[in-house]
Amino acid sequence: MPQSRSERIAGVFIYIILSFITLLVLYPLFFVLIASISAPETVMRGEVWLWPKELSFVGYERLFANSELMRGFLNTLLYTTTGTALNVLMTIAAAYPLSRADFNGRGIFTAIIVFTMFFSGGMIPNYLLVKELGMLDTIWAIIIPSAVSVWNIIIMRTFFQSSIPKEMQEAAFIDGASNMRVLLRIVLPLSGPILAVMVLFYAVGHWNSYFSALIYLSDRANYPMQLFLREILVQGQMQEMVDISDDSLARSLMDAEAIKYAAVIVTNLPMLLLYPFLQKYFVKGVMIGAIKG
């Protein structure tokens, strides 16, 4: 069908607006990248804005020379891997029974779980609980209180209900398979996409989280990367990294800026590298969640 004149104009208009929005989102990310590999003084003078000027890696050098930050990086890796493993196991353990029509009491169990989305005890009772359980300043305080997300349980349950043929499960039961066997041999092997989505969502959550560490951890040796990042980016505390004693004040101020840009890039590097491969999965994940369960 031929398009009318007004429709063609509208189409062009939409392309322009969308291009503008895309640019607006992309540019700050791009700027951080080029600023991180430019000489700090050129960034300060406002000369960097389309291309890096006078290549310099001083920010990265200072960053990698800092042993605390490297330990934070390792802590984050530990919290992310163990936390995600626990999250995924718990999500499956919740979602599979709830997906089964012959699971007695599933209405009540669902209600118990979903209610927690809308009402909570709040920060203080949670803190006191974690304290009472003796988990303060341990890895448990980071991974156990957030062992599973209700939203993800619902997404996964919906996937099990809508994408795994009931007949296959029934056939397996007739052959004498147990519930566990059906889950492990039939349901999970067919759930690749949703498992990938869950791993991605949970892992990003752990990678980026700082708040539970902020309240529950006091020993700096246990700090995740994001807490050090907060010191660098938000509070501007970098005494260790920019040594004022042997630099001029102006020099260290500039290096401090370079460290900030480098820090943003380094923390997000894994995500930046994985992003193109993961995109098709996470869109699928949100779509599955969009089908109301």
Residues in 15-34 at the binding interface with another protein, rule: CB under 8 A: 15, 17-18, 21-22, 24-26, 28-29, 31-32
Asked whether 169 and 188 are in contact (CB, 8 A), the reply is no
Answer for the pair 75, 223: CB distance below 8 angstroms, yes or no.
yes
Residue 181, SS3 per DSSP = helix
Q: Report how many helices (DSSP H) and strands (DSSP E) the chain contains, helices first.
A: 14, 0
Nearer to another protein, 24 or 174 (CB): 24
Least distance in Å: CB of 151 to another protein?
11
Which residues within the stretch 131-190 sit at the binding site for another protein (CB under 8 A)? 132, 144-145, 147-148, 178-180, 183
**126 touching another protein, by CB under 8 A:** yes
Assess 260 for contact with another protein (CB under 8 A).
Answer: yes
What is the distance between the alpha carbons of residues 81 and 84, in angstroms, rounded to a whole number?
A: 5
| Least distance (Å) between residue 74 CB and another protein | 17
List the one residue out of 167, 170, 168, 160 whose CA is nearest residue 186. Answer: 168
Q: Choose between 33 and 190: whose C-beta lies nearer to another protein.
A: 33
Burial class, 230, CB count within 10 angstroms (exposed 0-12 / middle 13-18 / buried 19+): middle
Q: Residue 178 Cβ, how far from another protein at the closest point, in Å?
A: 6
Q: Which residues ranging from 216 to 245 are in contact with another protein (CB under 8 A)?
A: 226, 229-230, 232-234
SS3 call for 263: helix
Q: How far is the CB of 67 from another protein (least distance, A)?
A: 20
- In whole angstroms, the minimum distance from the beta carbon of 18 to another protein comes to 5
Chain length of the chain = 293
Binding footprint of another protein, residue count (CB under 8 A): 89
For residue 247 the two structure tokens come to 């630099």
